[in-house]
Structure 1
């Protein structure tokens, strides 16, 4: 399941407890962890874990399951951080458009001059340029500044 598609659910206003938060944290570390393994770590039954996962997916707290690949795996990948300024009250509409761009791996709200910060990963410079163009053409985006990430230290 891919995160960020236009059919993405809004977060259901459900109360999440400590077990939900711990389960989500474990799944962030290893989205392929077995229900048995998660139940063992959290000290609850397999059925409890399965029910919680189902509830978290249904309510929109979990949007999908994915892998995290080693950054050195694709040496041609271009990683960057893009700061985005949005005009007026168009932030929600802009966010909705941005979520439809698969290369935007994460999107954050922030304060100060920039309204949003996007983490971008593109397969190469041509695709990176295409993503920048798409973002800059979204109605409501008035300015952006992008920094390519060269190495992780």
Structure 2
């Protein structure tokens, strides 16, 4: 398992604020060479410690996007298999393990109620899923 050091944390902190920051800017801010930054990013990506880069979109730019949270109860020791199947569903934008009454929590994003219904049926038909509860997200505050 890759262990972050202080330089890794600083690089990640800057990229969280500005994922498009050029290597030269990172190098200047952190006082290390551009090559050092490139090597660190390569190492973070190749080790799997850094999963990638993403774009955040303001919610009001996609007003018709339906978002929901699905809590999932998994049977016995089938959590790994269930997670593998859920990861293959592009409508599930995030998947979390949790404690309490539910084993997993999935964040769902779809463009229509019909698509939402299909996703719910597909998830509920996965072997190893005992129960689920889904709530549509009405707004973010």
Indicate whether the TM-score tops 0.5.
Answer: yes
Cα pair 2:45 2:51 within 8 Å, conserved: yes
**C-alpha offsets along residues 14-59 of structure 1, whole Å, 9 cap, x if unaligned?**
2222222332333333322211222233332221111111111111
Provide the residue aligned with 1:51 in structure 2: 39
| Within-5 A mapping of 1:101-116 | 101-116=89-104
Q: CA separation in 1, counterparts of 2:91 and 2:17?
A: 21
Unaligned 5+ segments in structure 1 are 1-12
* Larger-gyration structure (1/2): 2
Unaligned 5+ segments in structure 2 are none
Q: CA separation in 2, counterparts of 1:38 and 1:124?
A: 41
Q: Secondary structure at the match of 1:66?
A: coil
The RMSD of aligned alpha carbons is: 1.5
Quote how far apart the aligned CAs of 1:135 are. Answer: 1.2
- TM-score, length-scaled by structure 1: 0.84
- TM-score, length-scaled by structure 2: 0.90
Provide the residue aligned with 1:81 in structure 2: 69
**Cα distance change of structure 1 residues 34 and 21 upon mapping to structure 2, 3 Å threshold:** same
Aligned residue pairs: how many?
141
**C-alpha offsets along residues 111-132 of structure 1, whole Å, 9 cap, x if unaligned?**
1000111111112222222221
